[in-house]
Chains A and B, each alone.
Chain A
Amino acid sequence: EVQLVESGGALAQPGGSLRLSCAASGFTFSSYWMNWVRQAPGKGLEWVANINEDGSEKYYVESVKGRFTIARDNAKNSVDLQMNSLRGEDTAVYYCARGTTGVPGADYWGQGNLVTVSS
């Protein structure tokens, strides 16, 4: 059974940092792209970042470039999102999602982890 479990969400101050982690199980982690998607309270979904199978390609939504970093550890079956210089507009539930095999997409999703940025 494919499982994605996020952790690390919390309350952070503006300008602060947080690191989200996503632990994967039930599939060959190193064979899949991985994504982070967020959802602000009462709003729609927004793709944040993704990373290819070996970590050599990383892409970000414009609003987080230079502040967020996605990374993966295929030995530990995990993908992280390091979030620096946090802003109020980064407040959201952050989801980890597995890329769909062979075509762009996101098939399995974690349960989500709330990040709140407030003073």
Chain B
Amino acid sequence: QTVVTQEPSLTVSPGGTVTLTCTSSTGEVTSGYFPNWFQQKPGQAPRALIYATSKKHSWTPARFSGSLLGDKAALTLSGVQPEDEAEYYCLVFYGGVPIFGGGTKLTVL
């Protein structure tokens, strides 16, 4: 069974840049797995940020960007704001089956 792994936690300073990654136990994460990224704050439903590797939803702030870095999917936050402190989840599709990563807790400090 495919396991999708993310950094458990990351810390970034306000105004800084941070990259979160998403890796697969079965090998390279490619665009064919349609990586998605979601933000979730405590007590709230997840909010979609990125789909199909790098496409933004109409509500996604410009400071969020998605990409592929080597064999991983990546979410980069540039010019981090205090309100970006949250849990971030990647979602990839293996053989059409959606699999979430374990999440990255991002602290802005």
Q: Which residues of chain A have a CB within 8 Å of any CB of chain B?
A: 35, 37, 44-47, 50, 59, 61-62, 95, 97, 100, 103-112
Contacts and interface: CB of A to CB of B under 8 A. Distances in A.
Contacts of B40: 45
Interface in B44-92: 45-48, 51-52, 55, 57, 89, 91
Given A44-B102, A105-B34, A105-B36, A110 B45 contact: yes
A107 B45 contact: no
A12 to B, nearest CB: 22
B51 A100 contact: yes
Contacts, number: 65
Contact of A106 (B1, B91, B101, B103): B91
B27 interface: no
Q: How large is the interface on B (under 10, 10 to 19, 20 to 34, 35 or more residues)?
A: 20 to 34
B45 to A, nearest CB: 4
